[in-house]
Chains A and B, each alone.
Chain A
């Protein structure tokens, strides 16, 4: 290291969104650890309050502010750091850094960019600069030739080489595009294309090519290593974030592997990257031809995966290299004795599978392709491909038991399902085997390498063998072992053997478990050590496999282990907040002198960092695997309440096996989870709840509605159509929705509850010990009930609740805590109208808002809850929310722009992918910061209003007046225009898409950039309302115009930006509040 830095600024990535998720909490946390080790003061800007990196243990100064040039400059002005790290906060941080560099801010304040320099970043970000740069060293990139005549097209095709893809320029929807294998085909296609487009793009067709990635590291001394390579199971054309990926590559020969490795090093040296980067290649399956797809000159989703896949801490090392170290200065953090200048040797295989939540959105297509739609991912580790693919398909948590023995899919056109990739294609492959397709046929349709398909065929063959057994005891032990080595779960085996005779999945599961234990078929624990067992590992980064004969570690059996179950794949409704909870539980367990043990399989998390706990099992959170681990660990106890719903759901089954669940008992958890039991308990306690009933026929539903009146909330049980909860306001909506949501029947009952309009929704987050409340936080939704609590904007402490309401909520919560004898974290959601309080839901686990309230109140709820669960007596903290002279606001991040076609309207089902939490001296200040953090912008020109029902219009009137006074041009659709006019607010009438003959059209206003904020509030769910509103909302999302669809939130946001400017706000770090 040549220079000493005193203070370094790190930019975070903000809210989790599609394409930029938990991996940057992991990389940022690693960078912070690396700097801390050097004694450097760290300043972090990241509004994502639920992250682990925004904890006092990680950074010295934390700013919960938008990662935008304006705010970052003000922090720089205040903090005066001497260095800045741009590559640990995804594209958000990188873009912000580039802007700060270009505007001269970094130079002005003399802030040095550590690691890869900004001009290098720009060379990788700009397609043309990038291609030129790689041309300099004769490295092939993907290029298209623009031609305007047939002859020129022929020349271009010769140049790029057949097959080629031809695209007509300026044509929408791929009109005139196609593949050509030879000149004859090319002539025919180009002739046609030129008839309606002036220009044609000719590009080498890479259809069916392999997609291969390398993670490359370089230090300032020009030393390079490739830490890992990865191979996509899906061929080129599917975004790597949407692909199933394995590491290391499986189908590359030594020549292939090292050819691409050598190129990667040549490229990183030529570009001049210092730190880490990711290189993606397209690789011809029939030769050694290649194209460089792109280079990410920063830590990425792939680099996080590579770190977890290999045990090589890429982000940590990259941060050290940024400070000027050479790779030879650093040690391998697993062996502690060997050098960090090395390339990990894996003696296992990992498989990453994306987690999609497409069923949560209305209107979105299931096809996957070049843009990312997945919201999370899992990584499975094993010693055969069969084992990892099956583990992984269970981990994604979409009701699958592995590759095979699932509920059969309904596939009408199998060839299409194979040819056109969707989130479910791998299951179509299983169907294809069932229908007698050969590997060759499937390869022809999918272009997936036959190596992978043969492995999948092995699974099919084993399943067929199992299906021929007549009882579980009759399965030959060799076959049972083979099935386990191929990753079959006990359940899959039971299902294959028993088929439809299976009364209870649980019992059959246990039967297989018993049988294989009798036969001595149990998994072994293996360690990830980066060097293929060549050197001993000093860390306990573990996985379980049936492909092995002995354990890598020995167990103490001292009853000092505490096992914490993690939260699994990030998905809508469960993400980084539960990782924060899990990590904090681990920290407290360790602090209290126990051995901390983690089970989790999400490569984007901090909890799966092997230095966060004493033993990390990177493995499944299924009943079977958790029991396997508990059998070995023989822990003092197991914590289920900090990892969200996945561990919580295991409570009863683990309890039945005699597992010591720490904290609240499994019976209590069941009493809260089971709708009927919970409701009966509330009745007994005299606690009010919205009227509800579980119904099995349409007539019953109508009868119930007649009783409680519209609107009602309808919740179908799990159905294949993917339709979720909805509010229905009239018979038409109810019937339409029930049709959509499939067959109501005895086995598929529907829960209907009365829906209370214009009610406040209130969150109660709490820690109790032996039924007595020790610590609580009450927060208030800005939106009225009806917006899912995960999508709502939440303020804490509450600003507009009656004291009476608060008192009542406390009282009810105490009763519930006592009745369920809660010990540990829990959350209750309340409805409040006037002072009438109703309980909507109660979860006996940490909730999504725990990190938010912990950080705003500055008391760690999980630390306290963990102590409670460990049986340590705790005092009630003396501080309460009433002492706070500031406000925290949590706002939601939506990723609709990534989800083509999805209706960006909010409802009772959650659709946000992330959140931020900002603190301000006033509610308006906190709201403004948090809204700007989730991508809203203060409008400069015009605002388009269509503000829903009469009540909503009235609610919005004051805001409209404010906007007018501020000088904004208002546009409004019919009813809203009339209303504003009647109330003396000038606005220009704009027309709905259903009034195509009139101008100005709403959508045109967006296209013409006359409007830079859209407030569009649907009245109800009638079809025209949705179609009209949908088109406007979708246009706003597609044209990147800020959109708000809730009246109360819109009013609050408008108030905030009319009353305050960014310059008015004081820049304060977390500890300054």
Chain B
């Protein structure tokens, strides 16, 4: 039978039924499970570690978060693309609205894609952006069923084959030094007129960490992950978030160990928490399926203070292995895992969660205040 749309053009059937240009796409997991859907991004195969995120907003922020490097991001919230993508404009060497200069995950998977977006600050659709950056997008997949599978079996490797775009092998990003891939290659400075010099070790930093520091009067010196920052003069040390297995960042840990001998304030976020913990003697282990969401509850140890936090990590610190000068600072109220540590006497502390948010709740931005306060003391 012949179909015609309002414009009376005859087109490919799938495209007609879905009223859009799309192809079939299939997600294949390493255990052989397959999920069929439709493509809305680049027409190419891709592979990586399949992880889920339960956040209900912030796909532009998540996609540009370097911590997702090498991963296939599954959104448990079913409808994605609603508000398009903000303009990719730059200011002071940083993207205005995004967390880095490009998309880091291999692909994004959702149940339902909104081809038509609506937002005053949107410059394009998500599909257009994915195609532009050559990243795969798939909709029409039961992301809840997929998430339950990942919850039960743990994170898995997966690959996506878009119809007519060839084959690909599975790829395990955790076997590589992703920090090195996500980090900058040279020293970059931000907020140059500001008084306090903060070294930011870039393990795959999100822009909002830089914004939060600069806005609080920091002159941020962003250095590559393995840069020996002890050679430069600074007032405080900040260790950023980043992707993958922290065991690859031994070079960073060694530099941190040197800094721990001094008294200058140190703060870390996410990967930064794990590397600081390693420098403090602790062991880090892989979680079954990680924390990737905007609703993780944490409690400040020894208080009645609780916070809703944004998280994105697959590894956690075993605080029983911390050396005795250190103690847990925050714990996760759902599963009791570590959410931050602090030194008992020196101004060193870190959080496993993301106080810089973007996306997610902004409850813990005070972490930056505390860090800057300890510098200003």
Residues of A at the B interface (CB closer than 8 Å) are 221-223, 225, 248-255, 257-258, 261-262, 265, 285-287, 326-328, 337-339, 341-349, 383-385, 439, 449-451, 454-455, 457-458, 461, 464-465, 468-470, 474, 476, 478-479, 482, 524, 526, 531-536, 547-550, 552
Contacts and interface: CB of A to CB of B under 8 A. Distances in A.
B76 A535 contact: no
B255 interface: no
Interface string B85-126: 010000000000100000000000001101111111100000
A312 B260 CA distance: 44
A779 B59 CA distance: 62
A261 B361 contact: yes
A341 B57 CA distance: 20
Contacts of A251: 82-83, 118-119
Contact of A345 (B5, B16, B295): B295
A451 B294 contact: no
Interface string B190-220: 0000000000000000000000000000000
A343 B78 contact: no
B39 interface: no
Interface stretch (B139-147, B160-168, B237-245): B139-147
Nearest to A384: B112
Contacts of B55: 345
B144 A262 contact: no
Contacts of A327: 306
Nearest to B81: A451
Contact of A262 (B97, B151, B362): B362
Contacts of B296: 342
A347 B76 contact: yes
Contacts of A345: 54-56, 76-77, 293-295
A345 B145 CA distance: 16
B290 to A, nearest CB: 10
A339 B334 contact: yes
A464 B3 CA distance: 10
Interface in B313-369: 333-335, 357-363
A817 B7 CA distance: 63
Interface of B is mostly: loop
A465 B16 contact: yes
Contacts of B170: none
Contacts of A347: 54, 76-78, 143-144, 147
Contact of B56 (A221, A346, A383): A346
B69 to A, nearest CB: 20
A615 to B, nearest CB: 18
Contacts of B115: 454
B267 to A, nearest CB: 22
A628 B77 CA distance: 25
B304 A461 contact: no
Contact of B3 (A249, A326, A465): A465
Contacts, number: 196
Given A225-B308, A341-B333, A345-B294, 19 more contacts: A253-B58, A253-B83, A328-B297, A338-B297, A347-B54, A347-B143, A349-B78, A384-B79, A384-B112, A451-B117, A470-B1, A482-B18, A526-B144, A534-B52, A534-B151, A535-B151, A549-B35, A550-B142, A552-B148
Nearest to B37: A549
A337 B360 CA distance: 23
Nearest to B86: A253
A223 B358 CA distance: 21
B49 interface: no
B145 A532 contact: no
12 contacts: A254-B61, A258-B359, A265-B363, A343-B361, A384-B111, A451-B82, A451-B116, A454-B118, A476-B1, A532-B54, A547-B111, A548-B142
B333 A338 contact: yes
B17 interface: yes
A385 B112 CA distance: 9
Contacts of B60: 253-254
A534 B35 CA distance: 19
A903 to B, nearest CB: 43
Q: Which 9 residue pairs spanning A and B have beta carbons closest together?
A: A532-B54, A454-B116, A254-B58, A254-B359, A532-B76, A451-B118, A345-B54, A339-B333, A533-B147
Given A253-B83, A341-B333, A347-B144, A547 B357 contact: no
Contacts of A457: 116
A531 B54 contact: yes
A451 B115 CA distance: 10
B17 A223 contact: no
A326 B161 CA distance: 49
A449 B116 CA distance: 11
Contact of A383 (B83, B111, B119, B360): B111
A482 B13 CA distance: 13
A867 B78 CA distance: 43
Contacts of B358: 254
A349 B79 contact: yes
B109 to A, nearest CB: 13
A222 B305 CA distance: 8
Interface centre among A342, A457, A464 (most CB of B within 10 A): A342
A533 B144 contact: yes
A348 B111 CA distance: 10
A342 B333 contact: yes
A543 B271 CA distance: 39
Nearest to A450: B118
A258 B360 contact: yes
Contacts of B6: 461, 464
A460 to B, nearest CB: 10
B7 to A, nearest CB: 11
A396 to B, nearest CB: 23
Contact of B82 (A250, A262, A461): A250
A251 B56 CA distance: 11
Contacts of A349: 78-79
